[in-house]
Structure 1
């Protein structure tokens, strides 16, 4: 969520689709959104079957780990898309999002690599610095 806040994306009163229910992205995010009383849906790894539910979301956060599984056909115009999924394809680190088809539709798209990873490191450093000052 720090990535959304850094780019001034308001997630309040928006429908969030969490793709994947894993221990690194989906579950922690669902718990946090529950505490924040947010409107969200958790969609399993079979996103093709639930493409209509993905398309209904204002914000899509994917953490499945399957290259290019999220396509532009699944994203509504103007949606915010956060790609937190990583895997390797043809010797390169890639995300869940098919960037070429999603970018024209999304109002914001975090890249892989270079999106969630660096933000995670920045937040970790901020938290370490805050603890060191105590």
Structure 2
């Protein structure tokens, strides 16, 4: 296994955060503290954990974490009113609405209420469109994390065939567009794709974003492919059968400590970017 490259997300995340330290210090010297507002609706344990992790990551870097916890019975209108207030707050630079939200809320309407200048999680339709054209300030964090890992390890993208398994608007679709904008040939697969295994056997780069534990099988992976597992399922299990895929891949992200830490680091980076843009020194 010595020839296998384990794509260590913690290492990539540390490199991103190290670069952010001097920028946060420079903002602080100008009297500006980058601030990320996180909105949690209800009491979903997994969502509470994610929000707490993001808050802790902010504080370790000197970024203010403003946590808004709302009752699960809140209406879409009242949630949008909270978001609108945060849009108007000059001390808030980024807004993150933790999803999923309770069933009575129109999640898309809530996302669209976030100002594009504060959409550091890349969830708005405008942000998606800007990403499609290749000029988004804040692309969705997990797709951006995947690209950061590829770049950190200098894995070639141009001319390669990338197969993305998943088509969600904040993961599968945007990462497909980002790879396409970097001159990869991209195939996007999903639950209705026929002969998925045959598709994957053609891939130089595999992005697993399907939300099913150990779904991608080792025999589906072409010898020497690069595998990026964006899944996180109960029991610290990703979307690929790790050991089986490791046997065939040239490089692979583990779960945990793969894409996840870089996603959080990307969110911090976007918040600092927004602070610099919204409060120029």
Q: Which residue of 1 aligns with 2:168?
A: 22
- Report whether the alignment pairs 1:104 with 2:250: no
Check the 8 A contact 2:158/2:182 in 1, yes or no: no
Q: Distance in 2 between matches of 1:78 and 1:112?
A: 20
Counterpart in the other structure of 1:44:
190
Q: TM-score, normalised by structure 2?
A: 0.44
Equivalences for 1:53-132 in 2 at 5 Å? 53-88=199-234, 92-132=235-275
The 1-side partners of 2:193 and 2:261 are apart by 26
Structure 1: runs of 5+ lacking an equivalent:
none
In the alignment, does 2:149 pair up with 1:6?
Answer: no
- More strand per residue: 1
Aligned-pair CA distance for 1:8: 1.3
Question: What SS does structure 2 have at the residue aligned with 1:10?
Answer: coil
Say whether the 8 Å CA contact 1:18–1:43 is kept in structure 2: yes
Give the superposed CA RMSD. Answer: 1.8
Output one character per residue of 1:90-118: Cα deviation in whole Å (capped at 9) or x when no partner: xx121111011011111111011111110
2: CA distance between counterparts of 1:87 and 1:46? 21
2:179 match: 33
Secondary structure of the 2:236 match is strand
In structure 2, do the counterparts of structure 1 residues 83 and 36 end up closer, same or farther at CA, with 3 Å as the change threshold? Answer: same
Alpha-carbon separation, structure 1, partners of 2:177 and 2:158: 16
How far has the Cα of 1:38 moved from its partner?
A: 2.7
Find the aligned partners of 2:209 and 2:262 in 1 and give their Cα distance.
Answer: 15
- Structure 2, gaps ≥5 residues long: 1-146
Size of the aligned set, in residue pairs, is 131
Instruction: Specify the structure having the higher radius of gyration (Cα).
Output: 2
The two structures have a TM-score, normalised by structure 1, of 0.87
What CA distance in whole angstroms lies between the structure 1 residues aligned with 2:193 and 2:225? 16
